[in-house]
């Protein structure tokens, strides 16, 4: 069922646009400031949020000096403010939340600044259908099916990202999150879990496990499921997609959600989107060149897919 915007409560949005510790730049550039068709990535994200009916205000966290143009060059209908970054992504989220909602009385939407194909419809669908009011943290996923149109095609450049494989589907962690940081007792664990996005190198995975063994959490269960997810991801990396799906059939997403809920002592869930914009981020120079060359084509692809998805959802609702 698609929830109409008027039924939901608008959220404040926080855009992570900094370059603090653990940030992965593209070349020497802050990703938020990379230009596509003459415009910076963070501009596309801010405008998509501004046009969503379920966003009430926008806060950007990063370098005040480098992001000051947002207040002078962008003409938005909703309030936008830039605040200084902290030392890492978790501290940025906590600082941003304290600034936006000092009363700590509601969740916020958190997005990264490097997703120029994000659409207002994708944002509204995520907020309106995620069931976030019953949870403390909703992590956005994007389905394998939604990202297939953006694979390399013949001589055309493309982006094929690695997935997490589950019994229900294969999906990638995208860059939309709805979270109430005030209820998270161990925010540093979130950074460890978020690092699941960057486990193509086995050394990174082993370092993650080492960190988990230092925490007062269900380590062995996390190690077990983490190892299975890593095995599937490594199969994906080497092109053994059938084997990755086979391993994924033994991983139930609901079991993972329940485990993370216990580990973080919060009500955690994922919500999978069939829109591609929130997952098509720019992590390296090749991604940047690919996005620059295919931006207009991909923007049309996403718009068409979004129209078809919403039309099909409305048909289901009417039946």
**CA 317 – CA 4 distance, rounded (Å):** 11
- Beta strand pairing call for 11-16 and 55-62: parallel
Residue 1 has pLDDT above 60, yes or no: no
Looking at residue 37, what DSSP letter applies? T
The Cα–Cα gap between 38 and 219 comes to 47
pLDDT of 244 above 60: yes
Nearest alpha carbon to residue 227 among 255, 252, 199, 253: 199
DSSP 200-222: SSHHHHHHHHHHHTTSSS-HHHH
Cβ(252)–Cβ(178) below 8 Å: no
Task: Please tell me the predicted confidence (pLDDT) of residue 163.
Answer: 92
136: which DSSP letter? S
pLDDT at position 62, please?
A: 94
- For residue 307, what pLDDT band results from cuts at 50, 70 and 90? confident
pLDDT at 193 over 90: no
- Per-residue pLDDT tens for 55-86? 999 999 999 999 999 999 999 999 999 999 99
How many other C-beta atoms lie within 10 A of the C-beta of residue 146? 25
Distance CA 194, CA 207 (A): 14
**If you search the block for the tokens 């959220």, which residue do you land on?**
11
What number does CATH give the domain 5-184+266-318? 3.90.550.10
Q: How far apart are CA 233 and CA 238, in angstroms?
A: 9
Domain ranges in the chain?
A: 5-184+266-318
Residue 187 pLDDT greater than 50, yes or no: yes
CA 82 – CA 78 distance, rounded (Å): 13
| pLDDT > 60? residue 221 | yes
Contact at 8 Å (CB) between 128 and 122?
no
Answer whether 194's CB lies under 8 Å from 277's CB: no
Residue 190 clears pLDDT 70, i.e. is over it = no
Q: How far apart are CA 168 and CA 35, in angstroms?
A: 37
Q: What is the pLDDT of residues 253-297, one digit of tens each?
A: 999 999 888 877 889 999 999 999 999 999 889 999 999 999 999
- Tens digits of residue pLDDT in 80-134: 999 999 988 888 999 999 999 999 989 999 999 999 999 999 999 999 999 999 9
Q: When comparing pLDDT for 252 and 264, which is higher?
A: 252
pLDDT in tens, 122-165: 999 999 999 999 999 999 999 999 999 999 988 899 999 889 99
- Looking at residue 201, its pLDDT comes to 54
- The answer, yes or no, to whether residue 252 has pLDDT greater than 50, is yes
- Statement: residue 196 has pLDDT above 80: no
Name residue, tokens 């830039």.
82
Report percent pLDDT > 70 for the chain: 81
pLDDT given at position 199: 47
């Amino acid at each position: 069922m698609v929830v109409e915007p008027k039924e939901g409560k608008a959220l404040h949005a926080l855009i992570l646009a900094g370059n603090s510790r653990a940030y992965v730049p593209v070349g020497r550039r802050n990703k938020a400031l990379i230009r596509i068709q003459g415009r910076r990535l963070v501009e596309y994200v801010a405008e998509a949020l501004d046009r969503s009916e379920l966003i009430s205000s926008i806060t950007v966290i990063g370098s005040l000096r480098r992001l000051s143009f947002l207040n002078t060059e962008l003409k938005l209908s909703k309030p936008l403010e830039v605040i200084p970054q902290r030392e890492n992504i978790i501290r940025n989220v906590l600082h941003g939340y304290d600034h936006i909602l000092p009363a700590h009385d509601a969740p916020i939407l958190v997005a990264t600044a490097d997703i120029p194909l994000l659409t207002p419809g994708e944002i509204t669908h995520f907020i309106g259908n995620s069931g976030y009011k019953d949870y403390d943290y909703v992590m956005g996923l994007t389905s394998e099916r939604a990202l297939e149109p953006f694979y390399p095609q013949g001589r055309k450049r493309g982006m094929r990202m690695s997935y997490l494989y589950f019994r229900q589907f294969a999906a990638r962690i995208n860059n939309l999150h709805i979270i109430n940081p005030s209820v998270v007792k161990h925010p540093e664990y979130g950074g460890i879990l978020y690092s699941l996005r960057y486990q193509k190198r086995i050394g990174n995975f082993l370092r993650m496990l080492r960190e988990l063994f230092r925490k007062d959490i269900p380590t062995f269960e996390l190690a077990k499921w983490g190892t299975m997810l890593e095995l599937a991801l490594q199969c994906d990396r080497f092109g053994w997609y059938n084997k990755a799906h086979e391993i994924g059939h033994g991983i139930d997403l609901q079991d993972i959600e329940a485990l993370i809920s216990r580990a973080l002592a919060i009500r955690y869930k994922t919500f999978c989107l069939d829109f591609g914009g929130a997952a098509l981020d720019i992590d390296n120079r090749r991604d940047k060149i690919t996005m620059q060359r295919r931006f207009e084509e991909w923007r049309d692809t996403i718009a068409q897919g979004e129209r078809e998805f919403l039309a099909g959802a409305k048909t289901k609702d009417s039946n």
